[in-house]
């Protein structure tokens, strides 16, 4: 194995994510209404909330797939999508934003694998395209990561030849190929058949114990209880309450949290 690949596989320092007073609206509809959130390095944060509460938008604001109207996000102290200009924030160039995203893993609900590329090329694409690794090095890394998610034997397959659970595991390997300090999961099991949920959760659990910072939007309350260091409950674009799972899931203080939990449990 080459030095570059070894380096690419080495443990990445877990990142701190800070969300400062973020407001986001579509037209007159407020999706996020002043969200403050700090995720410490290596922490596993699960975001819960009813549909339309803004939890996915919050996740997408973190890697700047959505631009906040007010407020900002920083990862390890570096502002995302904007730069400071005296007292004001200015939008970064598209190229600079893409470079920043290259260090943030994102796993979609619908996997969004590239259907015309093999599993191996899906995982190897980003390190090659950004010039971080040569093609053989990236493929070596991709094989290694696919082994880690239990798909070492499917490297030559095309995504549509795989089950949903396998596709989502490829998507996780693709995110890992960025060597991200933080991985964001947007309802990673919502599009899966019930019997395939377990295999994806097992991979996420493995990541959680390896010390990467994870932010997960999910409806799997049992899973949240098992792996979350912190549960954040969000409704109407605001964080209603947050704390360790034992507190939020078992003794919620707010009416709205209790109401939500009574519906999903």
Map the footprint of another protein across residues 185-244, applying CB under 8 A: none
Residue 68 DSSP code: -
In 3-state terms, what secondary structure has residue 77? coil
Please, which residue, 92 or 261, has the CB nearer to another protein?
A: 92
Binding of another protein by 154 (CB under 8 A):
no
Binding of another protein by 99 (CB under 8 A):
yes
Give least dist CB 123 to another protein, A: 10
Element (H, E) at 191: none
Tokens 């795989």 appear where?
Answer: 162
Q: Which stretch binds another protein (CB under 8 A): 9-17, 75-83, 158-166, 202-210?
A: 158-166
Binding of another protein by 24 (CB under 8 A):
no
Q: What share of the chain is helix, strand, coil (3-state, %, to 5)?
A: 40, 25, 35
Q: Which stretch binds another protein (CB under 8 A): 22-30, 117-125, 143-151, 230-238?
A: 117-125
Separation CA 127–CA 107 (nearest Å):
17
Cβ 34 vs Cβ 95: under 8 Å: no
Separation CA 252–CA 246 (nearest Å):
9
Map the footprint of another protein across residues 45-64, applying CB under 8 A: 63
Q: Which stretches of the chain bind another protein, using CB under 8 A?
A: 63, 65, 94-95, 98-104, 106, 108, 110, 112-118, 125-126, 129-130, 158-161, 174, 178
């Amino acid at each position: 194995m080459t030095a570059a690949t070894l380096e690419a596989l080495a443990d990445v320092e877990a990142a701190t994510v800070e969300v400062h007073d973020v407001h986001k609206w579509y037209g007159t509809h407020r999706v996020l209404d002043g969200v403050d959130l700090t995720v410490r390095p290596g922490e596993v944060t699960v975001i819960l909330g009813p549909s339309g509460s803004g939890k996915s938008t919050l996740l997408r604001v973190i890697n700047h797939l959505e631009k906040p109207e007010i407020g900002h996000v920083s990862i390890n102290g570096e502002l995302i999508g904007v730069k400071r200009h005296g007292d004001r924030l200015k939008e970064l160039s598209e190229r600079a934003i893409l470079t920043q995203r290259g260090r943030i893993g994102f796993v979609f609900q619908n996997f969004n694998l590239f259907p015309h590329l093999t599993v191996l090329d899906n995982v190897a694409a980003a390190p090659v395209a950004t010039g971080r690794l040569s093609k053989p090095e990236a493929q070596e890394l991709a094989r290694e990561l696919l082994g880690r998610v239990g798909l070492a034997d499917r490297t030559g397959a095309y995504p549509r030849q795989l089950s949903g659970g396998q596709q989502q595991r490829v998507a996780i390997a693709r995110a890992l190929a960025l060597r991200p300090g933080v991985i964001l999961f947007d309802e990673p099991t919502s599009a899966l058949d019930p019997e395939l949920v377990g295999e994806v959760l097992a991979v996420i659990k493995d990541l959680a114990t390896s010390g990467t910072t994870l932010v997960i939007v999910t409806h799997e309350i049992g899973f949240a209880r098992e792996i979350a260091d912190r549960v954040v409950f969000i409704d109407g674009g605001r964080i209603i309450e947050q704390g360790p799972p034992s507190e939020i899931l078992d003794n919620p203080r707010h009416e709205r949290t209790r109401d939500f939990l009574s519906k999903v449990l």
